[in-house]
Chain A
């Protein structure tokens, strides 16, 4: 089945720790996106990538990093520089000028 998979579903981070969220798609989509969603809020764009080995910052990139070494994969690292990382993180993929397909999300909590 084609789709987009995020893992893990739940993630706990200690203060000062870096954590990496996984996003994999087998839809052969060129573009991939990471969004952050806070309770009762909309989606805010963190980073996006249109092609392998290239990515652009979104509105709230500070404290996050990404890589795009393969077309299928777009991992997001939440670094210790992100002071308020507790949120729901959503990954999406699409081709040009079409609808996006979303993963089921990763809920990150600082403990």
Chain B
């Protein structure tokens, strides 16, 4: 399987704290994407970082990519209860064909 891994599997924090999730993948990539899933719903795209980029920001989100280590991290700053969800990374292979997801991190933010 080409499936990647997120770490940690579960994360519980207080509102206002930062949340960091890590993703490792196995093959060469064209880009890496992060998605959010609320329970029982479809996934929503958060941010895409290309293989020639090292860091990207979007609002309270910061994503880094280290292609030499085949890893990425997602930082959510000043978390809110509404950020409670599962977060997945996905890799778009170099041919841009298959989109492979990791197993996800479940984030719980308590007020």
Cβ B97 vs Cβ A100 within 8 A: no
B42 to chain A, nearest CB (A): 4
Contact partner of A97 among B2, B92, B106, CB < 8 A? Answer: B92
B100 to chain A, nearest CB (A): 6
CB contact under 8 A between A31 and B97, given known A41-B103, A97-B31, A99-B33: yes
Cβ B48 vs Cβ A42 within 8 A: no
Chain B interface category by residue count: 20 to 34
Cβ B30 vs Cβ A105 within 8 A: no
Contact partner of B1 among A33, A59, A94, CB < 8 A? Answer: A59
State in angstroms the CA–CA spacing of A98 and B42 once bound together.
17
State in angstroms the CA–CA spacing of A43 and B104 once bound together.
9
Number of residues of chain A lying within 8 A (CB) of chain B: 30
State in angstroms the CA–CA spacing of A41 and B43 once bound together.
13
- Secondary structure of the A side of the interface? strand
Contact partner of B96 among A88, A97, A99, A102, CB < 8 A? Answer: A97
B76 at the interface (CB under 8 A from A): no
> Chain B residues in contact with chain A, CB under 8 A?
1-3, 6, 30-31, 33, 35, 40-45, 48, 50, 88, 90, 92, 96-104, 106
Q: What are 9 of the A-B contact pairs (CB < 8 Å)?
A: A41-B103, A42-B103, A56-B98, A58-B98, A97-B31, A100-B90, A100-B99, A105-B40, A107-B40
